Amino acid sequence: MDQAAVKALYQAFAGDRLTFLYSGEFHDEHTARLIALGEEYLEREGAEKSVRSKLGFIMVEAYQNIVRHRTTINSAAQGAGRSMFLLRSNGAQHEVTAINPLEEGAVGALTANLERLRSLDLQQMKQVFLRGLQSEERTERGGAGLGLIEMARRSGHALRYGFAVIDPAYRLFALQVLVGKGGSWRNEVKDAFDVHQAVVDHGIAVLGRGRSGAGEQEAILRFIERDMDDGRSRSDVRTRAYLAISDLLANLDTAGEGPMILFRQVDGRTSLVVGTPLNETALARLNDAMGAVMSLDPQGLQRRYRDILLGRVEVTDDMQLGLIELARSTSAPLRLMSSDSAFGPFAVLEAVI
């Protein structure tokens, strides 16, 4: 992945304390992992219980809306019509975005439903919701708009939405929900579509950005394990690669708003990409460690790895072990690139696994 594209994506989420993006297979069991991700993050942030409850419900409902309502579209438009879930948080406010393809003919009714919802106050929403529970009217794929009503009611803010053209038969539908005491959005619906385009262009399946704790990292790892499962052995390799890069970053003095880690799948190849601001000293350390690791052939990597684990050699920098483990998991040489950015020196490391 081009370093300019990685840097642009990193900067698109400027100001976030946590960014989580998912555009994979949307398995039902990921719902529990989303709950765990949100709870771990909000607990670490010291968020109130009411906020944790609201955000947890809205993330699950937005994710399940994708699972229940996404449209199977023709093969020519599958890339542009892929679904996407996005959580952006700056600590005080949390923005949840769900993007889904739908048939052109469904746009009018959905727009009318959303506009009607925007005209209701909280008490009116509650009454409509209760009537909906009692009604026998249901869509083929779920309740009669009850999820939208409850998301708006729990959020306390008007839902935002937008459409983008895929082709004459299909549109992309973006739904955005805001959680938090403040009522100001930090981005526009267009920004979400721009992110979606980057996801399509670069085959991004999972992305995490920010200084994540162990709990968030564990949840992201489970997404990766479940979605990259063309074979159990390859899934294990990708797990080891993610753990290796997490270990590497723990030993590296990342700057700015922390690292961004993403998994992408293009032309049958999976790669792990890290983009992170660094200070000059950390960048020099990384370059030195990278040079030492890349000078070894596969047999040399194996010997070096074993010798480090057994204490037979003295390692001057702890990050070398993480790079060796990463290099042992790849099917192509590691790539390290660096350039200047608004955050200072910016390093991009890519491993094809």
Let me know if residue 51 belongs to a domain: yes
- The answer to whether 156 and 58 are in contact (CB under 8 A) is no
| pTM over the 0.85 mark | yes
Nearest-angstrom CA–CA distance, 33 and 37: 6
Residue after which a domain boundary falls, among 179, 202, 225: 202
Say if residue 292 is in the same domain as residue 147. no
Say if residue 40 is in the same domain as residue 179. yes
Say if residue 177 is in the same domain as residue 59. yes
Say if residue 90 is in the same domain as residue 57. yes
Say if residue 42 is in the same domain as residue 188. yes
The CA dihedral of 206, 207, 213, 214, to the nearest 10 degrees, is 20
Give me the helix-helix angle, 232-250 and 319-328, nearest 10°.
160
Residue after which a domain boundary falls, among 157, 181, 202: 202
Let me know if residue 192 belongs to a domain: yes
Residues in the chain: 353
Say if residue 232 is in the same domain as residue 180. no
Residue after which a domain boundary falls, among 174, 202, 230: 202
Say if residue 18 is in the same domain as residue 29. no
In order along its 353 residues, the chain shows pLDDT tens digits of 999 999 999 999 999 999 999 999 898 989 999 999 999 999 998 988 889 999 999 999 999 989 888 777 765 556 899 999 999 999 889 999 999 999 999 999 999 989 888 877 767 776 676 665 555 454 444 444 678 888 888 888 889 999 999 999 999 999 999 998 776 888 899 999 999 999 999 999 999 999 988 889 998 988 888 886 555 556 678 888 898 898 889 888 888 999 999 999 888 888 999 999 999 999 999 999 999 999 999 899 899 888 888 888 777 677 888 899 899 888 889 999 999 988 889 999 999 98
Let me know if residue 209 belongs to a domain: no
Let me know if residue 210 belongs to a domain: no
Say if residue 282 is in the same domain as residue 349. yes
In total, how many domains does the chain have? 2
- The answer to whether 1 and 335 are in contact (CB under 8 A) is no
Say if residue 319 is in the same domain as residue 342. yes
Supply the range of the domain harboring residue 18: 1-22+215-353
Say if residue 163 is in the same domain as residue 240. no
Let me know if residue 208 belongs to a domain: no
Collapsing DSSP states into helix, strand and coil, what is residue 328?
A: helix
Let me know if residue 34 belongs to a domain: yes
Let me know if residue 150 belongs to a domain: yes
Say if residue 268 is in the same domain as residue 290. yes
Say if residue 51 is in the same domain as residue 194. yes
Q: What is the CATH number of the domain that holds 138?
A: 3.30.565
